[in-house]
């Protein structure tokens, strides 16, 4: 996953997969979800990110938490 922020446009983009989007749906609150040919999400865009308290223009902190489930055979 890639995360991009454009401070001039105030848009935060989460790129989930590296495939071209073929369709997009704008949800309420300025969220755009783009989909690939397989109808799976490609990216999520947050418009006016700082005005919705999604991001602070002066500071960008991102925390990613992952976990792996171990299985015993």
What is the per-residue pLDDT for 63?
Answer: 60
Residue 25's domain comprises 2-52
- Please indicate, yes or no, if residue 27 is contained in any of the structural domains: yes
Round to whole Å and give the CA distance between 34 and 11: 14
pTM (2 d.p.): 0.74
β-bridge mates for residue 14, sequence order = 3, 44
**How many domains does the chain fold into?**
1
% of the chain residues with pLDDT over 70? 74
- Please indicate, yes or no, if residue 61 is contained in any of the structural domains: no
- Please indicate, yes or no, if residue 34 is contained in any of the structural domains: yes
E-strand ranges in 1-73 read 2-6, 11-15, 23-27, 31-35, 41-46
Round to whole Å and give the CA distance between 31 and 35: 13
Per DSSP, the three-state class of 64 is coil
- Please indicate, yes or no, if residue 59 is contained in any of the structural domains: no
């Amino acid at each position: 996953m890639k995360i991009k922020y454009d401070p001039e446009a105030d848009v935060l983009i989460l790129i989930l997969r590296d495939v071209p989007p073929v369709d997009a749906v704008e949800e309420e609150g300025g969220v755009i979800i783009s989909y690939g040919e397989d109808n799976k999400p490609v990216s999520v865009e947050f418009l006016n990110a700082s005005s919705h308290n999604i991001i602070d223009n002066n500071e960008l902190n991102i925390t990613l938490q992952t976990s792996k489930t171990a299985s015993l055979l």
